[in-house]
Amino acid sequence: MGELEKHARLFNLIAPVYNYFFRAQVSNYRSILDKYEALLKLPPGGRVLDIGCGTGAFISCFAERGYQGVGVDFSSSMLRAARKSTRDKTIEFVQGDVTKGLDFADGSFDLVLSSYVLHGLSSELRHRIYSEAGKLSRGPILFYDYNQKRRLFTDLIEWAEGGDYFGFVRHGEKEMRTFYDDVQKIDVGPQTALYLCSRQRK
The reported pLDDT for the residue numbered 32 is 96
pLDDT digits (tens, 9 = 90+) for 72-129: 998 888 899 999 999 999 999 999 999 999 999 999 999 999 999 999 899 999 999 9
How sure is the predictor about 43, in pLDDT bands with cuts at 50, 70 and 90? very high
- When pLDDT is averaged across residues 147-155 and rounded to a whole number, the result is 77
Task: Give the amino acid at 39.
Answer: L
Pairing of strands 192-200, 91-95: unpaired
Task: Kindly report each contact of residues 82-89 with a partner whose C-beta sits within 8 Å and lies 24 or more positions away, as own/partner.
Answer: 82/53, 82/54, 82/55, 82/56, 83/56, 84/19, 85/19, 85/22, 85/55, 85/56, 85/57, 85/60, 86/56, 86/59, 86/60, 89/60, 89/63, 89/64
In the DSSP assignment, the letter for residue 111 is: E
Of the candidates 152, 146, 104, 151, which has an alpha carbon nearest to the alpha carbon of residue 121? 146
pLDDT digits (tens, 9 = 90+) for 163-181: 788 989 999 999 999 999 9
Of the candidates 116, 60, 129, which has an alpha carbon nearest to the alpha carbon of residue 93? 60
Higher-pLDDT residue of 11, 38: 38
Global pTM reads 0.89
- Range 3-35+42-200 has CATH code 3.40.50.1820: no
Q: Which of 45-54, 143-152, 170-179 has the lowest mean pLDDT?
A: 143-152
- When pLDDT is averaged across residues 22-32 and rounded to a whole number, the result is 94
**Angle between helical axes of 165-179 and 123-136 (0-180°, round to 10):** 40
